[in-house]
Amino acid sequence: MAAPAFPDVMRIRYEGPKSRSSLAFKHYSPDEKVDGKTMRDHLRFGVAYWHTMRGTGGDPFGPGTAVRPWDDGSNSVANAQNRARVAFEFMEKLGAPFYCFHDRDVAPEGKSLKESNKNLDAIVKVLKEEQKRTGIKLLWGTANLFSNPRFVHGAGTSCNADVFAFAAAQVKKAMEVTHELGGAGYVFWGGREGYSTLLNTDMKRELDHLAKLLHMAVDYKRAIGFKGQFYIEPKPKEPTKHQYDSDAAACLNFLRQHDLLGHFKLNIETNHATLAGHTVQHDLETAVAAGALGSVDANVGDAMLGWDTDQFPTDIYLTTQIMLVVLKMGGFTTGGLNFDAKVRRESFEPVDLFYAHIGGMDAFARGLKIASAIRRDGRLAEFVRRRYASWDSGIGAEIEKGRMNFKKLEACMLKKGDAAPNASGRQEYLENLLNEFI
Ligand code: XUL
Ligand code: CO
């Protein structure tokens, strides 16, 4: 048994709002029930392996700053195996029930696909042992189809058919290991599936190819008996100028057009929605309306910066609004709240990883409790219900039932002379109402 990587950190416990300990939960009390379900089961927190275990703090202006004493800095399988054990020490001490990874986060890429697959198997063996030892589960797996230079023109949308084939092989393997580890889901994030200039791009052909890749994944899922949920994760920009999966609506349209909608749900990430010019609630609601909200990548951007800063969410207003949508849809089934977030470059010590996750978990615990209280109170839902009351009877109900047409509606209005007066939208009143609970 190796020496602990976080010797000074004990298991993070719930100490309540009065606690002054920085390494304790003030609000996340995993066994406490909210609306008949434990907070653990409501929130289904996941740790993102790529940020937490592989993030270095590097940026375009300077190298990484992160101090990670357990990491020997090499690309060896032994180092990756050790890192996997450290990941589980971290998650066990934190009390995170889930984690998520890309194939290339957990295992080094080899000189050939064969060697990469072998490396991955060697790490999956450790992940499996550690899952068994700790009870921590895999929320979702995915393949990194964007870092290696071969994916310079994309993966499923590459102009190079060989690259498409390589991507398919990589997804196949990543699906197999996700299945082997009992993953509850598998994510497809677009990576470099987009373009920088239309001058060199056959957009229709690229999109058709992407659909082909996803259909092959659906077929292979059936072939190996993988029962986890497939997700698409929308993002509008970064790394390419125009990402095909730019937002929830674009993803849903793509899935519908290519007859894939029944096989996929969406994994909505806060900072991706905001980069698309939406609030995260907008993209969550868009997904829910299509019966396709699967999971959430929990993070937040910076209002001052126009890129994917992947910060830990600490804003109670935000977490409340996310949890209002999640509760409205009846909670997560296969999905959860995966912290696709990283500590700042200036927060380079190992203990900062704990502070970051504790903050995110407490913020969501509060969001959950507040959202639940708002729902129990009922005034917000009642306001919205009443706002649409004209659709519950009379002309509105007839339209909804499909019993109306232009001629009948014209006759109605000719008789009535004008529409009934409108009522106030009461935005300020509703904002005050929300603040009563926050
Ligand atoms: C990139 C991003 C990815 C996906 C998984 O912005 O969010 O890490 O979550 O590939
Ligand atoms: Co993400």
The answer to whether 322 touches 281, Cβ cutoff 8 Å, is: yes
Q: What percent of the chain has pLDDT over 70?
A: 100
Is pLDDT above 80 for 78? yes
Catalytic residue among 51, 102, 179, 357: 102
Burial of 52 (0-12, 13-18, 19+ CB in 10 A): buried
Catalytic residue among 103, 105, 245, 283: 105
Integer-rounded Cα Rg, in Å, for the chain is 24
pLDDT at res. 289: 98
Cα–Cα dist 269/16, whole Å:
29
| Mean pLDDT, range 91-114, rounded to an integer | 98
Q: How far is the CA of 70 from the centre of ligand 2 (A)?
A: 26
Q: Which residue of 49, 147, 233 sits with most ligand 1 atoms within 8 Å of its CB, as the best mutation to test the pocket?
A: 233
| Mean pLDDT, range 111-137, rounded to an integer | 98
Read off the pLDDT of residues 252-295 as tens digits, 9 standing for 90 and up: 999 999 999 999 999 999 999 999 999 999 999 999 999 999 99
Is pLDDT above 70 for 421? yes
Q: How far is the CA of 266 from the centre of ligand 1 (A)?
A: 13
Is pLDDT above 80 for 1? no
Residue 347 region by backbone torsions, left for phi larger than 0, else alpha for psi between -120 and 50, else beta: beta
Cα–Cα dist 175/35, whole Å:
35
Reading the block at residue 56, the tokens are 């270095």
The answer to whether 25 touches 15, Cβ cutoff 8 Å, is: yes
3-state class (DSSP) for residue 23:
coil
Q: How far is the CA of 309 from the centre of ligand 2 (A)?
A: 11
Cα–Cα dist 188/231, whole Å:
6
Give Cα separations from 50 to 197, 212, 414 (angstroms): 29, 27, 63
Name the residue at shortest CA distance from atom 8 of ligand 1: 340
pLDDT at res. 14: 98
How open is the CA angle 241-247-253, to the nearest 5 degrees? 110
User: pTM value?
Assistant: 0.97
Average pLDDT of the chain, as a whole number:
98
Q: Among candidates 203, 181, 182, which has minimal Cα distance to 194?
A: 203
| Mean pLDDT, range 128-149, rounded to an integer | 98
Name the residue at shortest CA distance from atom 10 of ligand 1: 189
